[in-house]
Amino acid sequence: MSALHGPDGQIYAEAQGPLVMGGYTAGNGANGKEVNSVTVGSIPNGGIVERDTAVDLHEFKTVSLLLRNPDFTTAKQIADAVNENFKKTVASALDSSRVDVSVADAEASSVPVLISRVQNLRLSVSTPAKVVVNERTGTIVLGGEVKLTPVSVIHGNLSIEVVTTYAVEPIPGAMGPGWVGTNSGPGAVGRDANTGGAAEQKQITTTPAPENGGRGGDRLTFVNPDGDAGS
């Protein structure tokens, strides 16, 4: 029996029952095998509530909105959206993770009505890059904003190497409105749609942008069979 204490030191629930593991270990030494984690588990339907946690919303003077992902820009956008909906200043961002809405200034009939009106407002926020690792099931989930740079990871007998490979593709129209390429990369051969003449891509040189100390820009050079060059 495991007691679950609240911030006030009181016991609000207890957990007891069969423990379900997300992995297993078998054998020992060189003949052993371990899958996922054997130190993390769950007890389905094992919680027993010992104390009521109901809250009387009628006594609330201020409704505080807490951001799961603290961000000053998002907090300000929430306050602005609430104030615009109520046509007056009823919300203010206290910090990056908290926005307070005054119940009296909002003139709502009840706190639940106020919360319902606020939570149905829509606004665009930036999604943080996040990686979620579930050690119990061995699952890894990456968000859409996550970008992997070259890295090597070694854990036990597992080795992961992430590399980045860049492929050069001719930019449509970069060699003139009438140039049509047949393939890409150094040595690519194309033809001029206006004259029918062939054009060969001889070299590609990439230089850093001016802000990085370079000359700036990418340069693509090609040479026609008649000796005319362009870039």
What's CA 39's distance to the chain center, in Å? Answer: 28
Neighbours of 129 (CB within 10 A): 11
* Euclidean distance between CA atoms 138 and 36, whole angstroms: 5
Query: How is residue 175 annotated by DSSP?
Result: T
**pTM listed for this prediction:** 0.46
Average pLDDT, rounded, for the chain: 75
H/E segment holding residue 25: strand 24-26
Between CA 208 and CA 186 the distance in angstroms is 20
Displacement of CA 133 from its chain's centroid (Å): 13
pLDDT for res 102: 92
Phi-psi region of 96 (alpha: psi -120 to 50; beta: other; left: phi over 0): alpha
Residue 27 Rama label (left phi>0; alpha psi -120 to 50; beta): left
Give the residue, 85 or 189, on which the prediction is more confident.
85
Does residue 205 contact residue 155 with C-beta atoms inside 8 Å? Answer: no
Give the residue with greater pLDDT, 208 vs 127: 127
CA end-to-end span of the chain, whole Å? 76
pLDDT digit string, tens, across residues 99-155:
999 998 988 888 999 999 999 998 888 777 888 888 777 788 888 888 878 888 888
- Kindly indicate the confidence band of residue 219, based on its pLDDT and cuts at 50, 70 and 90: very low
